[in-house]
Amino acid sequence: MSAAARLDLVYTSPVVTTALRRELQSGPRPLQVTTAVHAWTDFQHEWDFAGDFVVVDAQLDDHLPLAVKVRALRRLGSHRIVIGPGRHSPFARRAGTEGATAWIAPTQSLSATADAIRAIADGRTPDVARLEPAGAPDVRLTDRQLQVLALFVAARGHSLAHLARVLALRTETVRSHIERGRARYRDAGHPTNNRAALRSALVADGWTYDPQVWIDSGRP
């Protein structure tokens, strides 16, 4: 592990972030944590200085799907470590295909999580964090298409007008992205006549979590 290597944390819970940072910076093999924030928008302020390793909460509750975050970090050249449930789920496997380096379950202790991160920084991915990439999705989506569709099928049921305001797009543009996404899934043999059907298609491809995962995790 290079002494110059940088690691950034982007995790929802300030309590977990602080505790994990302390764990990583202590012990016989301390690891430097240069940035620790609780939202992706805060992390973007550090965009030009992304660390060699970036640990991301899979369930950050924001306007960007995990796959888009992973793609962005890959373009920056950072190693992508995800903390989230369901390492063998389509969602986790899709993240692996998009470029996630490893996936650590939040059920592990802080010390075990820190040890796994240190191992990854040393170039060794423990079996408990190893990802099996998914096959090709039925429908390949651009960053913007994925963003709009994932927000549209979210449990909150955002209106098109609300999505347009959040994404700084015209309502007609949002509607066009959704209709094109639906059409592409219909062409691939998936019915998308309603929001639930489109959500099921996105979940099967690994582009978004099954809503039950959020419920089981106690997330809002």
Is residue 202 pLDDT above 80, yes or no? yes
Convert the pLDDT of each residue in 29-88 to its tens digit: 788 898 899 999 888 887 666 678 999 999 998 889 999 999 999 998 899 999 999 999
Token code pair at residue 60: 């950050």
Measured at the CA of 58, the angle between CA 43 and CA 75, to 5 degrees, comes to 55
Measured at the CA of 51, the angle between CA 146 and CA 112, to 5 degrees, comes to 90
Measured at the CA of 205, the angle between CA 199 and CA 210, to 5 degrees, comes to 45
Angle of the 90-98 helix axis to the 66-76 helix axis, nearest 10: 20
Burial (CB count within 10 angstroms: exposed 0-12, middle 13-18, buried 19+), residue 127: exposed
- Which structural domains are found in the chain, ordered by start? 7-129 (3.40.50.2300), 143-216 (1.10.10)
Is residue 5 pLDDT above 90, yes or no? no
Which H helix or E strand runs over 10? strand 7-10
Burial (CB count within 10 angstroms: exposed 0-12, middle 13-18, buried 19+), residue 75: exposed
Residues 138, 142, 144, 146, Cα dihedral to 10°: 20
Residue 69: its pLDDT value, please? 95
Q: Which of the pair, 5 or 88, is modelled with greater confidence?
A: 88
Instruction: Please name every residue paired with 36 in a beta bridge, in sequence order, or none if there are none.
Output: 9
Three-state DSSP at 7 gives strand
Instruction: For residue 62, give the DSSP letter.
Output: S
Convert the pLDDT of each residue in 72-115 to its tens digit: 999 988 999 999 999 999 999 999 999 999 999 988 899 999 99
The mean pLDDT value of the chain amounts to: 89
